[in-house]
Chain A
């Protein structure tokens, strides 16, 4: 009511003071336009928000930094979710198929394939993707899937290790981790692993780059909000390697981390380096209990 009276007041003033009117009218119009624009923007933003909160699982303990754990899947649009949910549409399965073909292809001096030792991947690799990175007594450090695949190649097959980012390594990683799809992420982080978890944690909370951002700045404090056009997820790793629609191919986790660090204008951790593996370990632990989604589809 008071608004209307005020407007009427303005109108009267405008009528009696034509010069004032000339100055006030554009301001009123602009205010009106701004009002309409902000109301529309609000309505749209409410529609565009995926209902990620509904899909949260409870953290297994108080020591977990996020008490509500949500897969990155639920931060994406319904269209992207639909591609992942239908195995036929999911282009990540081209990687699974390639990995399956490589599994039984003998390579190297020993004339062996993966299948020579591990037989049927569906049985022997089940669960592996849910518990890596895993401690290696021999190397005295944690080893992730890519590294383990290459250890097998050089030590048991007498073959050249695959380069990080090669189609073969990413496809094999995808194929192996796919065998654990649906199984909850559950890593062992006690004993010799604990200093590595601490190292990953330190990296997670360290601000890097010209933009001076830590992983936590976006993915812990601001998930569920927009960073420009990006709808920030919790940065969970349960779907990796993921088929990124942006890149139109499967992207391994360490490349994704490189991308994040590059975006904040920092110096990326080299893939498969100790830093990258420590961060992978810590990230996976933060998502304990999430089902493995490999091959996931993301934007």
Chain B
């Protein structure tokens, strides 16, 4: 399920200035904790998304560092008040440095 596209949903794509938009995201990732052992006793190395960010045309909107307690396929929802129209860029970065990226537009009237 690693190559599934991340999912982004805005509760509305067009808002008046000052109004809040709710953003929901869901991304497919194993989020291996690094604490589990395989059947042969070997430790399964940690492999998690360690950072999630959302930027509106380069301006930081929301982000966080993730730790190993977050379950597989992490889900984020947050609200923000866009000041201008633009493209929201979502980035998830995992321990191997793989970047999962997605974009969504928002219009401010």
Contacts and interface: CB of A to CB of B under 8 A. Distances in A.
The answer to whether A and B assemble together is yes
Interface of A: 88-89, 91, 94-95, 97-98, 167, 171, 245, 248-249
A88 B1 contact: no
Given A88-B26, A248-B71, A167 B9 contact: no
A171 B4 CA distance: 12
A89 B24 contact: yes
27 contacts: A88-B7, A88-B9, A88-B24, A88-B26, A89-B24, A89-B26, A89-B75, A91-B26, A91-B28, A91-B72, A91-B73, A94-B1, A94-B4, A94-B28, A94-B73, A95-B1, A97-B4, A97-B5, A98-B1, A98-B4, A167-B1, A245-B71, A248-B31, A248-B71, A248-B72, A248-B73, A249-B1
A96 to B, nearest CB: 10
A115 B31 CA distance: 33
10 closest pairs, A vs B, by CB?
A: A248-B72, A91-B73, A94-B4, A94-B28, A94-B1, A97-B4, A88-B9, A248-B71, A98-B1, A88-B7
Interface residues of B, number: 13
Contacts of A94: 1, 4, 28, 73
Given A88-B24, A89-B24, A91-B28, 9 more contacts: A88-B26, A89-B26, A89-B75, A91-B73, A94-B73, A167-B1, A171-B1, A248-B72, A249-B72
Interface of B: 1, 4-5, 7, 9, 24, 26, 28, 31, 71-73, 75
A97 B73 CA distance: 14
